[in-house]
Amino acid sequence: MRISALNLHSIAIADPPLRSSYGLHAPWALRTIVELETDEGIKGVSETYGGHGPRAALEAMREVVVGRDPFQLAGLHGQIRGKAVANGEVPGGRSQTWLVPGENPLDQHNRTFAALEIACLDIIGKAVGQPVCEVIGGRARDRVPFSAYLFYKQAGGGGAGQYADEYSEVLSANAAVRECRQMVAQYGFREIKLKGGVLEPALEVATIKALRAEFGNDYPLRIDPNCAWSVDTSIAVGEALREELSGGGYLEDPCPGLEGMGEVRKRLLSKGIDTSLASNVAVTQFADVLRARDLGAVQIVLSDPHYWGGMRQVQHLSHLCEVLEMGLSMHSNSHLGVSLMAMTQVAAACPHLTFACDTHYPWQAEKDEIVEGGRIPFKNGAVEIPNKPGLGVTLDYDQLARGRERYEKITFRKRDDEAEMRKHVDPNWKRVLPRW
């Protein structure tokens, strides 16, 4: 079998005004849908970062991809890496401290390869009549749990005013509890993550305490301020939340850099507080895992097939974390159903992935979904591996065309949360790390 065509679809999807230490989400999130056709009529699909940069990087690999055997993934990776390096890319070195995952120019080839690998695995699954999780080694679980991913947010739905504001303004502890109740009732999530780094730390501590009071000990809690706190503030928050973040919860990227996180962990331990630190900002490549372990900076690594280099690399990461006695969770960004199924398939095939995965899916709108049959269902907070070959989703081409039209109508081609924050919330806002 040979790949006969690479089709790239740039789409825009409504995104509510969610806040983080990066700033504010724009009314539209950008995604790229990758579709590979083969000479045997089988098509494979994947979803990745949107806008100009990620698309151009995929375009640049067209001649490497078309004509290849989709089973030969190691060879494809070698070719993509070789071409990227020949074009001047320096592999590695991509901390996410300042830039959101899709906008980091470093190590782009891993994200490009990931998008192509996932589409090839979809083809392979369809060719052999098996779900992708079976193709990559077999499932460790039939259903993959996800967490309720809470955000502080400005009032307003996604898009330019045409989308419902399901959760209204969330800028206080009470409003976050309401948001969580709504999300848990609708999706059945059993673990809770709060995106922090937005309000004064004391207010975020109060939010976590209010969530614990409302949901009790059976719902592990995590907070992720994306490096907004100094070492001292991180320690103060760790102390204030010693009970709330225990029992399967964690403190994610409290401050910038592995050295800082190592210091936080050491000083918390010296006070008898054994809170686990997690990271998707300071640990973004294999070499970081070893440094993080040596510094005692990170106990739980957040994987993500979109930037760790695809599904098989996430499995390698899972094994490495198991060997190093570190935990494994999964990171997300605004996404639709194709990404959700890729995350689900790989999570099912990672025995060591025991934390509920992040997902932004509840924040996206039903009317933007591009897979046939509409939104992927959650049962008791989990997505089940469908009894279908490949990823288990088929593109709805009318919906995809609507996504492309939305993309053509808007002018921006790059995620810039800082600019959005200045436009809509505070004209003088700057990203400052650490802020508190």
Among 9, 22, 306, 337, binds ligand GKR (CB under 6 A): 22
Binding of residue 333 to ligand GKR (CB under 6 A)? yes
How far is the C-alpha of 304 from the C-alpha of 309, rounded, in Å? 8
Helical ranges in 161-230 per DSSP H: 173-187, 201-215
Whether the CB-CB separation of 72 and 156 falls below 8 Å is answered with: no
- In the complex, minimum distance from the CB of residue 333 to ligand GKR, in angstroms, rounded to a whole number: 5
SS3 357: strand
Among 111, 153, 265, 331, binds ligand GKR (CB under 6 A): 331
Binding of residue 280 to Mg ion (CB under 5 A)? yes
**Cα–Cα nearest to 402, from 364, 352, 368, 359:** 368
Whether the CB-CB separation of 80 and 61 falls below 8 Å is answered with: yes
Region from 18-26, 43-51, 139-147, 210-218 binding ligand GKR, contact rule CB under 6 A: 18-26
Task: Answer with the entry of ligand GKR, Mg ion, none that 22 interacts with (C-beta below 5 to 8 A by kind).
Answer: ligand GKR
| Strands 192-195 and 19-20, sheet pairing | unpaired
Region from 34-42, 140-148, 231-239, 277-285 binding Mg ion, contact rule CB under 5 A: 277-285
HSE-up of residue 340 (Cα within 13 Å, Cβ side)? 30
> Nearer Cβ to Mg ion, position 121 or 330?
330
Task: Answer with the entry of Mg ion, ligand GKR, none that 111 interacts with (C-beta below 5 to 8 A by kind).
Answer: none
How far is the C-alpha of 277 from the C-alpha of 255, rounded, in Å? 10
Give residues with Cβ within 8 angstroms of 405, minimum separation 6.
none
Residue with tokens 């372990």: 293
Beta-ladder partners of 328? 301, 353
Region from 14-22, 79-87, 230-238, 321-329 binding ligand GKR, contact rule CB under 6 A: 14-22
How far is the C-alpha of 165 from the C-alpha of 153, rounded, in Å? 11
Task: Answer with the entry of Mg ion, ligand GKR, none that 315 interacts with (C-beta below 5 to 8 A by kind).
Answer: none
Binding of residue 254 to ligand GKR (CB under 6 A)? no
Question: Beta-carbon neighbour count of residue 248 at 10 Å?
Answer: 18
Region from 48-56, 239-247, 275-283, 404-412 binding Mg ion, contact rule CB under 5 A: 275-283
Among 224, 263, 368, 417, binds Mg ion (CB under 5 A): 224
- φ, ψ at 209 (rounded to 5°): -65, -40
Torsion angle in degrees (nearest 10) through CA of 271, 276, 277, 280 = 180
Question: Beta-carbon neighbour count of residue 292 at 10 Å?
Answer: 23
Whether the CB-CB separation of 60 and 83 falls below 8 Å is answered with: yes
Site size for Mg ion, by CB under 5 A?
A: 3
Binding of residue 304 to Mg ion (CB under 5 A)? no
Q: Quick check: is 195 catalytic?
A: yes
How far is the C-alpha of 399 from the C-alpha of 150, rounded, in Å? 27
Among 101, 131, 248, 337, binds ligand GKR (CB under 6 A): 101
Tell me which of 9, 193, 195, 360 is the catalytic residue.
195
Tell me which of 126, 331, 335, 360 is the catalytic residue.
331
Question: Beta-carbon neighbour count of residue 40 at 10 Å?
Answer: 12
| Strands 23-24 and 19-20, sheet pairing | antiparallel
- In the complex, minimum distance from the CB of residue 278 to Mg ion, in angstroms, rounded to a whole number: 8
CA 323 to chain centre: 24
HSE-up of residue 191 (Cα within 13 Å, Cβ side)? 23
> Nearer Cβ to ligand GKR, position 38 or 151?
151
- In the complex, minimum distance from the CB of residue 107 to ligand GKR, in angstroms, rounded to a whole number: 15
Contact track, ligand GKR, 102-131, x by CB under 6 A: ------------------------------
> Nearer Cβ to ligand GKR, position 20 or 345?
20
Binding of residue 224 to ligand GKR (CB under 6 A)? yes
Site for ligand GKR in 255-284 (CB under 6 A): 280
Question: Beta-carbon neighbour count of residue 282 at 10 Å?
Answer: 26
Among 20, 32, 48, 315, binds ligand GKR (CB under 6 A): 20
Among 100, 150, 231, 268, binds ligand GKR (CB under 6 A): 100
> Nearer Cβ to Mg ion, position 79 or 354?
354
Q: What are the tokens at 357?
A: 């995965």
Site for ligand GKR in 395-424 (CB under 6 A): none
Binding of residue 219 to ligand GKR (CB under 6 A)? no
Q: Quick check: is 331 catalytic?
A: yes
Q: What are the tokens at 161?
A: 């005013």
- In the complex, minimum distance from the CB of residue 358 to Mg ion, in angstroms, rounded to a whole number: 8
Return residues touching ligand GKR (CB under 6 A).
18, 20, 22, 100-101, 195, 224, 226, 280, 331, 333
Question: Among all residues, which ones are annotated catalytic?
Answer: 195, 331
Return residues touching Mg ion (CB under 5 A).
224, 252, 280
